[in-house]
Structure 1
Amino acid sequence: MTDYSRYARQVVLPEVGVNGQSLLRDSSVLIVGLGGLGSAAAQYLAGAGIGRLLLADRDRIERSNLQRQTLYREADTGRYKVEAALAQLAALNPEADLVGLDASQWPQAVADADVVLDCTDNFPTRHAINAACVRARRPLVSGAAIRLEGQLAVFDLRRGGPCYRCLYPETGEVAERCEQAGILGPVVGVVGTMQALAALKLLLGIGDDAGRLQVWDAKQMSWRSHEIGADPECPTCGHPHV
């Protein structure tokens, strides 16, 4: 039974209330990638009372991660991210059902989630997550951050509109990595937190963020919003048999 006093500051919001909190408790969210984006998103989703969090990552924690991946501690260096994340999130909210997945398991878990968060850092995985969400008709919250720049987009084919591949075709382009380009820690934290916010809004039915690319310039502290058009020739979402 949910202890609503734990969530009192959001239950008091008319957009949430007791019914909304119960909805969050009964919801499942899949997070693929537990780096800077995923570690920020996971903390806020666990704190908000999401009933089931599915967590997927294949990497171990490196000391250089700690500057921006604030879910982890110095003593976690060398541990698998999933293992350390499960421990930290259980300490944050023992009411949450936390499930760790390896790289081979998350595609099957997409259909079990109400919302999927793409918190990865490479195009092949992003396209694989998008394809799985299109097949299962699950909303996808995509985030990215590099240097002093961030991006956020929500794709929800249940409402029509584009998928991730409509925005970024598979052209063989290689995504920039933080190792080479750099990243200021709070930048990736802000985008990951915004992914958590977008997921909560989807689950609660607050507003409609789908089909828009939000671009953040952290240096200027400014956001720009761009409408994303659906590509009728998209090989992932543009054909009736998908």
Structure 2
Amino acid sequence: MIAEPISVAFGIHIPPKEYWQRLREIADEYNVVLIADEVITGFGRTGKYFATDHWDMMPDITTVAKSLTSGYSPLGAAIATKKISDSFFGTEKEMFLHLITFGGHPASCAAGLKNLEIYDREKFVENSKNMGEYLLNKLEALKSSKIVGDVRGLGLLAAIELVSDKNTKEKLPPSLEIQKKIPKYLNDSNIFTFRAGDIISLCPPLNINKDEIDFLVEGLASTIHKIEKET
């Protein structure tokens, strides 16, 4: 069984603590390997080193990439429990053999090691927690808009959900073309993004500060106000 601790592509809905703990129980009951895809949520994005740390749950395997090198060089990895990793060792007949063409690439591994050193030195995980709380607090003010149905997040991973009806959570009509307008209006505020729809996803850099968050939220407020006037 493989899943993201928080599904980024599907709206950044934060699961309750019991959700992943129950998954762990079910996987154990049926002897199923539980894999957490932390490619996006790992390495401080949610205010802890891994998102599953929020729920006191240990997956059998954790997959990581992207943030491992901060994108400076392609690198992916799998972190496994001893029970799983032991399957890769032993005699030739016992070990699990698998070939990876670019496995252990020296340049990527060097970038990853240095990146992890910087994470710890600059306290990026701690900053993600503190600035994430500040960001969510600032975003709460956007709920006063009639088209903001929800604001949610964990650490520096957040979402603003735009709706035409706060009670039913009905989406804004396609005729508004918000997929085109939101990036344009944000660009007008010097906030550059490649696309946005009914859910505006926010994944700011882990070294962001309060002034930059204030600037970001100002631009978001201006954009939402413009969209609201057109509804």
Normalising by the smaller structure, the TM-score range is under 0.3
TM-score computed with the length of structure 2 as normaliser = 0.27
* Higher share of residues assigned strand: 1
